[in-house]
Chains A and B, each alone.
Chain A
Amino acid sequence: MSLWKIAWRSMQQRAVASWLTAISVGLGVALIVAVLVVHRVVDHSFRRGAQGYDLIVGAKGSALQLVLDTVFYLGQPVDLIPYSYYREFVEGRFVPAVRVAIPICTGHDYKGFRCVATVPDMFERLTYLDNREFRFREGRNFYAENHFEAVAGYTAAKKLNLKVGQEIRPTGYGETASKQHEDEPFTIVGILEPTGTPIDRAIFLNLEGFYRCAAHQVGPSYEESLLKESEFRVVEAEPGGQTQKSGGETHSDSGADRLGNQAEENQHECDATCDHHHHGENEEESRRLSAILIVSELENNPQLAMALPRIINEEPFAQAVAPAKVIAELFDGIVGNVQRVLLILAVLVVIVAGIGITVSIYNSMSERQHEIAIMRALGASRGTVMAVILLESILLSLGGGLLGVLMGHTLVALLSPTIAEHTGVIVSGLEFQLVELILIPGLIALATVVGYLPAVMAYRTDVAKALIAAP
């Protein structure tokens, strides 16, 4: 026999009221837990979605839109940049500042899943999360020379029931299913292991094959980008040349100028290459990319690498975006506020539930005053009977809290497939957090406050009067 047991028995005696009260606390706590878990996991996943590369180069315009399209495969399609610009990163003036450059072109989808045209290096030279390498659970990476090979992310493969060897025909934006490509289909040659990043939700096509079958794809963005490219050419021809010259003469050591020098050195080479390509196929001229993922040479060439975004941003048609920064801004600016509002609402629900505890115990006080008088007559002090009531309040709120934690995680587990489907973020119902531990002292404090009024009533019970009153 202990005070805890006495309090527990009091609750058992009023089981229905106790359960209802505990459940109301539980609902509030479940809401808090769900908000916390979902927020943390979403935050984490969003921030880590773009780990593995530090810059995204794309067409001028909204940085957010570029990040959403490139990292999360969400939102509206972005403007395109000429494929020739990509060459600057792999064989042109930006080479010293760049370790890896991966061209990608979004804009197609297959049965609701984004198709991303890229090169095999995407999975060989890039990593995800903390330097984890991509692995294939089935098959292999696509080969550059096999133009119509594709690999599927884990979730996309699972949802579409894609198998190695299966052929798919992606659809472009604005195209209807009936107007699908009549070109060669892509063959799935590999399925990736789950990564917990948006990559799971996409299908990756060989860029070369993509261009061959998308050759007829002409949309407004294509026109626009052609226009922009011509502007770029004009700009490059006049002041660009001068800058390069003066840079070379002053022998400045700044990263930007060295890049300029580099550009000058590479000028002929580049022209030659470009000429070669122009000669070879006129096709290359019309090729476009939605973005280039860049891993910069921060270790070996930090000055150049640091200067790279600024130089790219000076281009009239291109921008370089640090995805981590954009995502952090998006998160803190919008999602963070949403979370704050949700948390405040959840805390209010818990407080209302706490008042429910007061009401529940208070309502039972008239019948209970007789029991309290009996306990007092048996030798319990005023402090003891007050403690019994407070303990009951604490048991109700902690029990409700425990129930809430269970309900919250169950809720998260139930919502998990929906969240994964819409955002590619995998949320586990078992994702517990240290913050949840704050709930324990928080609930005890709440219980003490809301239990105080009935506890004082217990303290003040007139034993002689309550004993005589009929039970």
Chain B
Amino acid sequence: MLLVLEEVKKSFPLPDGGRLEILDIPYFALDAGEQVVLVGESGSGKTTLLHIISGISRPDSGSVRLDGWDITLLSEADCDRFRAKRIGYVFQTFNLLPGFTALENVLISMYFADGRPDRGRAKQLLERVGLGHRLNHKPPMLSVGEQQRVALARALANRPQLILADEPTANVDVGNQQIIIDLLRETCREEGAALLLVTHSPDVARQFSRIERLEHLNRLAKREVQQTV
């Protein structure tokens, strides 16, 4: 197994001093190279789960093991470096750095991973996502579809073992949505990276052989469902 989550719990402090419990996941696993779609209601904690898997947020308890490493035990700085090298992240809002060109956005991710940007690979990735002619354009000069493709190239830059994609088509025009999904799945396959894609679009979810519902993984959601029943 590439990724294994066990007994992961996460809550956020509330203004009144109490805590809002979001996640309580007894077990979740993903194989190397596997492509999984995770669906769930908005606000159900999908983004929080991806933050925990990537180490951006820490769980209150439980373990998150990637390739045998429990990232919850790593120091913050090690965790940052671990994430840079092993996990690619595609955000719903692209999150490109607006002051940098498409090429530089890919290079900067390589720089943060190991300090050795590989220009050749960066260009090659951008060409792969169809932006060979847009290397020196800054994000504001690119269409949303193009921006998400730059983000995809950036996520793949450091040959990660896992790509986390958080509703990657939610802000992309309808015409480009399928292109992005196809590119994402194809490039992950080519690079040998596993893909965990979060979406609330049934059309997107339907294309994956393994579909996980957060409500089924999350004990808190199950309880809520039972309560409403």
Contacts and interface: CB of A to CB of B under 8 A. Distances in A.
Given A6-B108, A464-B57, A471-B93, A381 B99 contact: no
A375 B83 CA distance: 12
Interface string B84-118: 11000101010111111000100111111100010
B51 interface: yes
B199 interface: no
Given A378-B108, A381-B80, A471-B93, A10 B47 contact: no
B214 to A, nearest CB: 17
A470 B92 CA distance: 11
B99 A377 contact: no
Contacts of A464: 48, 51, 56-57
Given A2-B111, A9-B99, A379-B109, A470 B93 contact: yes
Contacts of A380: 80, 84, 112
Interface of B is mostly: helix
The CB with the most chain B CB atoms within 10 A, among A9, A10, A384, is that of: A9
Interface string A368-400: 001100111111111110000000000000000
A176 interface: no
B81 interface: yes
Interface string B136-157: 0000000000000000001000
Given A1-B117, A381-B80, A382-B76, A467 B95 contact: yes
A12 interface: yes
A379 B104 contact: no
A210 B170 CA distance: 98
B226 to A, nearest CB: 29
A100 B111 CA distance: 75
A84 B80 CA distance: 94
Nearest to A5: B104
A1 B80 contact: no
Contacts of A374: 95-97
B91 A13 contact: no
B218 interface: no
Contact of A378 (B51, B57, B93, B109): B109
Given A464-B57, A467-B56, A10 B99 contact: yes
Contacts of B81: 379, 381
Interface in A5-28: 6, 9-10, 12-13
A468 interface: yes
B77 A381 contact: yes
A294 B77 CA distance: 77
A375 B51 contact: no
Contact of A1 (B84, B111, B154): B111
Contacts of A376: 56, 80
Contacts of B154: 378
A379 B97 contact: no
A375 B97 contact: yes
B52 to A, nearest CB: 9
Contact of A377 (B54, B98, B107, B110): B54
B80 to A, nearest CB: 5
Contacts of B57: 463-464
Nearest to B75: A381
A464 B76 CA distance: 14
B112 A463 contact: no
A384 B99 contact: no
Interface string B22-61: 0000000000000000000000000110010010110000
Contacts of B99: 9-10, 12-13, 371
Nearest to B154: A378
A463 B95 CA distance: 12
A229 B43 CA distance: 108
A380 B83 CA distance: 10
Question: Which of B57, B85, B89, B100 lies at the interface centre, i.e. has the most chain A CB atoms within 10 A of its CB?
Answer: B100
A2 B80 CA distance: 18
Nearest to A14: B99
Given A377-B54, A377-B89, A384 B95 contact: no
Interface of A: 1-2, 6, 9-10, 12-13, 370-371, 374-384, 463-464, 467-468, 470-471
19 contacts: A1-B111, A370-B95, A371-B97, A371-B98, A374-B95, A375-B97, A375-B112, A376-B80, A377-B56, A377-B83, A377-B89, A379-B84, A380-B112, A381-B77, A382-B76, A464-B56, A467-B51, A467-B91, A471-B95
Given A374-B97, A384-B112, A470-B93, 7 more contacts: A2-B111, A9-B97, A371-B97, A371-B98, A379-B85, A382-B76, A467-B95
The 4 A-B residue pairs with the shortest CB-CB distance, nearest first, are: A379-B84, A13-B99, A379-B112, A1-B111
Interface of B: 47-48, 51, 54, 56-57, 76-77, 80-81, 83-85, 89, 91, 93, 95-100, 104, 107-113, 117, 154
